[in-house]
């Protein structure tokens, strides 16, 4: 077991079904991986398999007051796939889920934080999205979007692009 803890925050998008790929890559790179899912992402992932692989509970909700935290504190965070909704709420400072609470706090902690959006072309054209990406980048978040990154997909085609999601790029950016 390593002493470097990586939180993988997974959002509700088709690549979430393959988040085990990122977990495996990170573990091979020496990370102790903890998975946090947005509430909607819990319908996309195989939480029991992820828990068996990571030896940590998959969290999607806040713990009860007075309960101990079952996860080690993070040394870095990867948000992948990061949805349109999560990017915009995070940039606006909205903290209405455990995942967003961790992300809004992470900006003030100096942790390495990487976000890899997965959205369609129509969502990418919404003016709030570019503003949110820029705001997060100004806060020190490495948002892997544009440039050499895969472009947004046509509306309705996300399930066809899920298998080519570049998990390795997210891990390379945090390492």
pLDDT, tens digit (0-9, with 9 covering 90-100), for 39-93: 999 999 999 999 999 999 999 999 889 898 889 999 999 999 999 999 999 999 9
Give the integer Cα–Cα distance in Å for 54 and 38.
Answer: 18
Mean pLDDT, to the nearest integer, of 6-27? 97
Please report the domains of the chain, with CATH numbers, ordered by start residue.
5-174 (3.40.50.1950)
Q: Where are the alpha helices (DSSP H) in 38-164?
A: 47-54, 84-92, 98-106, 121-124, 127-138, 158-161
Give the integer Cα–Cα distance in Å for 166 and 168.
Answer: 5
Q: How many CB atoms lie within 10 A of CB 81?
A: 29
pLDDT, tens digit (0-9, with 9 covering 90-100), for 98-148: 999 999 999 999 899 999 999 999 999 999 999 999 999 999 999 999 988
pLDDT, tens digit (0-9, with 9 covering 90-100), for 64-76: 898 988 899 999 9
Give the integer Cα–Cα distance in Å for 83 and 40.
Answer: 11
Give the integer Cα–Cα distance in Å for 75 and 120.
Answer: 31
**Residue 104: which of 60, 130, 96 has the closest Cα?**
96
pTM of the model: 0.96
Which percentage of the chain shows pLDDT scores above 90?
Answer: 87
Q: Residue 107: what are its φ and ψ, rounded to 5°?
A: -60, -35
Given this model, what pLDDT does residue 148 score? 86
In Å, how far from its chain's centre is CA 60? 12
């Amino acid at each position: 077991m390593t002493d470097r803890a990586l939180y993988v925050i997974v959002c509700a998008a088709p690549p979430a079904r393959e988040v085990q790929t990122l977990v495996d890559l990170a573990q091979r790179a020496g990370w102790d991986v903890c998975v946090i899912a947005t509430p909607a992402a819990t319908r996309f992932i195989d939480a029991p398999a992820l828990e068996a692989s990571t030896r940590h509970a998959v969290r999607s909700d806040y713990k009860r007051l007075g309960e101990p935290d079952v996860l080690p504190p993070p040394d870095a965070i990867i948000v992948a796939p990061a949805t349109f909704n999560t990017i915009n709420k995070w940039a606006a400072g909205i903290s209405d889920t455990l995942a967003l609470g961790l992300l809004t706090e992470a900006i003030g902690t100096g942790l390495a934080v990487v976000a890899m959006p997965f959205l369609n072309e129509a969502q990418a054209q919404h003016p709030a999205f570019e503003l949110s990406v820029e705001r997060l980048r100004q806060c020190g978040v490495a948002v892997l979007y544009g440039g050499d990154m895969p472009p947004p997909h046509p509306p309705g085609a996300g399930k066809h692009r899920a298998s080519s999601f570049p998990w390795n790029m997210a891990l390379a950016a945090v390492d």
